[in-house]
Amino acid sequence: MNNIVEYEACILDLETTLELGIKQMEVFSDSNLVLKQIQGDWRTRDVKLRSYHAYLELLVERFDDLRYTYLPRAQNQFGDALATLASFVDFPTDVVIRPLLIESRFAPAYCCLTGEIEVQDDLP
């Protein structure tokens, strides 16, 4: 059952990406099974997974450049946090959800000030 969920998640992500017009992407996944099977390193032996695998191959063909990176679960805290947050939200079917852009900064946030700040010497 868990492997089916992994395939479902991968398929949903690729479908969403294609709907947004994105043709180049790097996929980070903690599911070594799905990654190895879609890369052709492992065969899909489970009969229940074969239809998922076949559909996933059709989606992959629609990308210009699609790379895969295995990310062990221990290093996937960011993805786990996003999945947990998403599981708490219940969206009505008629609501359009805009994509969320998350950026990582390599400098403290205060280094990214765009304007002058007022100096207040009396504050700690």
In order, the DSSP letters of 20-50 are TT--EEEEEES-HHHHHHHTTSS----HHHH
Structural domains in the chain? 2-88 (3.30.420.10)
Tens digit of each residue's pLDDT (9 = 90 or more) over 57-75: 899 999 999 988 888 877 7
Average pLDDT over residues 72-83: 76
What is the spatial distance between Cα 54 and Cα 28, in angstroms, rounded to a whole number?
Answer: 20
Q: What is the pLDDT of residue 32?
A: 81
Question: Residue 93: is its pLDDT beyond 60?
Answer: yes
Please state which of the ranges 20-29, 67-76, 95-104, 115-124 shows the lowest mean pLDDT.
Answer: 115-124
Six-digit token pair at 107?
A: 């400098």
Q: Within a 10 A sphere around the Cβ of 76, how many other Cβ atoms?
A: 15
